[in-house]
Amino acid sequence: MFNGQAVSLKPLEDGLVELVLDLQGEAVNKLNTLTMAELDAAVTELEQAETVRGLLISSAKDAFVVGADITEFQQMFSLPEAQLEQLISRSHALYSRIESLPFPTLSAVNGMALGGGCELALSTDFRVLDKTARIGLPEVTLGICPGWGGTVRLSRLIDAGTALQWMMTGKPQKAAVALATGLADQVVDSAELRSAALELLQQAVQGKQDYRAKRAQKQNALEDTTALEAVAEQAGCKLDPNYPAPGTILELVRRHAKLPFEQALAAEVDTFVKLASSDVVKSLVGLFLNDQLLKKKARGLGKQATPVTKSAVLGAGIMGGGVAFQSASTGTPILMKDIRDEALELGIKTASGLLNKQIEKGRLDEAGKQAVLAGITPTLDYDAFGGVDIVVEAVVENPAVKAAVLADVEQKVADNTVLASNTSTISIDQLAKSVSRPENFCGMHFFNPVHLMPLVEVIRGSQTSDATIARTVAYATAMGKTPIVVNDCPGFLVNRILFPYFNAFNRLLLDGVEFERIDRVMEAFGWPMGPAYLADVVGIDTLVHADHVMQEGFPQRMGHDGEVIAEALLGADHLGQKNGKGFYEYGVDENGRRFKKAHETAQQLISNRVKVDVEMSDQEIIDRMMIPLCLEAALCLEEGIVESPAEVDMGLILGLGFPRFRGGALRYIDTLGLQEFADRAESHQSQGPLYQLTPGFRARLAEGRTYY
């Protein structure tokens, strides 16, 4: 009948036809331009066939359809609105043609059916899922709404309030949930999927199942919108204006709930087109593609690596204990060494506490907890270190102590064992002087708390071998982390870019801008916490130490013009959250509620050092804070600290919590426009070297190039 590179039609017995999705050359089915064109051709053939009595849609791969091809989105979304509207309308029309075929249709869903794949399944009359299937509409995570009829069909097929919650969160649903809500007609074991699907389709052909009633249910307007209004009332106060898609989906479904089917679909097309052209979508789609690039690079290095079957960590403190927990919980046994029994006990207690939280959330049982703990072997000696593939040194952030520990452990491991230092600031080349096999040594910078922060910076020293980098990246990936390979420099990637931001913060304080106001402005900009609060979370002592390292490493740029407020706070024994006083005071009130309020001592210390009160708008505060950070990000790219803009921006997103809807520092520059950013930077030239445009930036601006 039809045999393409992604879609084929196969005649079965009794007038049934099977449409098989099998995109050649790909591990999964994606609804790319080729697939949609072939699907259109296959549907045309089905419409013209006179002997077909029923259609089964199935996948030859492990997943049904993972969605549209997101790599095509950037080009597609840059089209003029009228052209994009025509393109989306064609897909709408194709799915409506499937829904209007003159015989019953059924989707046999295995694995993932997401986005356009879910919408394809919704266009058929019946859906049979295997027990492992996940189905849903995650478009909101890219800043858009479902665009191929999903907002209309799902909200009319199942409870509209439930449908709305699914679309506003984007969370894929398990097969059992799909069955309970009415999205799935049956859920069966994987081995029975095909036979069960064919049996149900035969029943529809024979009139034992009313497929026309199924179609009518998806197409009829809603009579009762009470559930929608309830969700709207609950969600209204939780909507984040920086992410417009959830609220837009809410209003879209409320608007089209009582419209005729075709008008409802038209409303969806219009909404999709308007969302797709936004800067938020460019950022979120860009982040998805950046993430795919990082995963591709990690997979490539992983293929070159000797697998890590056993690891070790030196130090059972907060970081070392976190590394031990993460390694064991993801399947790599680990030795946890310290010089004190009480430290080892604390490390095990920390891991146990994290596992207990997973049990409380229903993600783990007691047997699973014990299995993870069995993967952590506490030890006071090096006796078993001869059998480990990688050692993560996580002792105190002191070059002399780290050097001594690294030199010591190197004598106890095999000649090919990788040594990795978990340092946030100390030069890898400096530490490499303490080992006799520097080719086996690199940095492996975890972020705190280890179990929550996804980023790991893998730092290449000047003598680090490719094999060492490959094994360390493979280990980080096996731990469920996102590794980024960084060349050695003070602060590496993330902290190097962060400290110009703190430098700018200090300058604003000396200009008389209250730290509470700066925090409010930067949190409104999208940061999860403002710079004063972030300093308290990091620890004022840690901040000051790292700032000294950055000043020593980049004395011309990162020196301070005036006193350093963090140093004054440290001198007054303000350590931040760790002792309850930093820029803010932390405690518990008489009702047992935690509080955070500006610390009077901090306010006084700052007031005594203000040089001059400067009138300043919120936008000026944002520019003063963001320009140094963005220019340092550009400089890291120019100096080859990382290879691509994607790695710069993903480091900031995953390591610092840079606002996702802004896409990272370099994406932020692109969004503003390089000329606009240059104008803003040049208006603040008097603030010093951190505000000077870099040579690479000037070259891009002159050549009309962007970062992406």
Active site residues: 445
CA 318 to chain centre: 24
List the strands of the sheet with 112-114, edge to edge.
112-114, 134-136, 173-174
Task: Give 265's strand partners.
Answer: none
DSSP strands (E only) in 16-115: 16-21, 54-59, 105-109, 112-114
As a whole number of angstroms, the distance between CA 392 and CA 502 comes to 29
539 φ, ψ (degrees, to nearest 5): 110, 125
Report cis status (omega within 30 of 0) of the bond before 449.
yes
How many other CB atoms sit within 10 Å of the CB of residue 51? 7
- Closest C-alpha among 622, 303, 268 to residue 470: 303
110 touches 132 (CB < 8 A): yes
As a whole number of angstroms, the distance between CA 407 and CA 422 comes to 15
- Closest C-alpha among 502, 507, 577 to residue 537: 577
As a whole number of angstroms, the distance between CA 551 and CA 454 comes to 28
32 touches 115 (CB < 8 A): no
As a whole number of angstroms, the distance between CA 359 and CA 364 comes to 5
As a whole number of angstroms, the distance between CA 326 and CA 311 comes to 11
466 touches 439 (CB < 8 A): no
DSSP strands (E only) in 319-414: 334-337, 376-379, 390-393
Tokens found for residue 321: 């204990």
As a whole number of angstroms, the distance between CA 504 and CA 8 comes to 60
Return the exposure string of 675-684: e unless at least 16 CB atoms fall within 10 Å of the residue's CB, then b: eebbebbeeb
- Closest C-alpha among 454, 618, 605, 606 to residue 530: 618
Alpha carbons within 13 A on the beta-carbon side of 369: 19
The H or E element spanning position 290 is helix 279-304
As a whole number of angstroms, the distance between CA 280 and CA 445 comes to 30
500 touches 632 (CB < 8 A): yes
- 497, burial (CB in 10 Å: exposed 0-12, middle 13-18, buried 19+): buried
As a whole number of angstroms, the distance between CA 208 and CA 402 comes to 74
The single residue listed with the structure tokens 């989707």 is 107
Task: Give 487's strand partners.
Answer: 460
Tokens found for residue 688: 């010093």
> Residues with Cβ < 8 Å from 185, sequence gap 6 or more?
126, 127, 128, 200
563 touches 697 (CB < 8 A): no
As a whole number of angstroms, the distance between CA 441 and CA 468 comes to 7
As a whole number of angstroms, the distance between CA 339 and CA 79 comes to 63
> Residues with Cβ < 8 Å from 256, sequence gap 6 or more?
151, 152, 263, 264, 267, 268
